[in-house]
Amino acid sequence: MKEGDADCVFASIYTLGMKKHRESFTRDRFDLIVVDEFHHATAASYLSVIQYFEPKFLLGK
């Protein structure tokens, strides 16, 4: 991740679906996570991200 310590981080599901990128962040790193295409939330790539992070608020769009 290029700017993982920025105030706002934008990443694709493809990038965060990779364990090495996802786990470069602590589980509670983000207050808000917005998931676009949430109808794909049962896919393994989405689940790996959704189940890893513990944001204060998760928005599925």
pLDDT digits (tens, 9 = 90+) for 20-46: 999 999 999 999 999 999 999 999 999
* Mean of all residue pLDDT scores within the chain: 91
Per-residue pLDDT at 3 = 64
Per-residue pLDDT at 61 = 83
Q: Would the pLDDT of 4 be above 80?
A: no
More confident call, 15 vs 1: 15
Distance CA 12, CA 53 (A): 15
Question: Which parts of the chain fold into alpha helices (H)?
Answer: 13-16, 19-22, 44-52
Average pLDDT for 44-53: 95
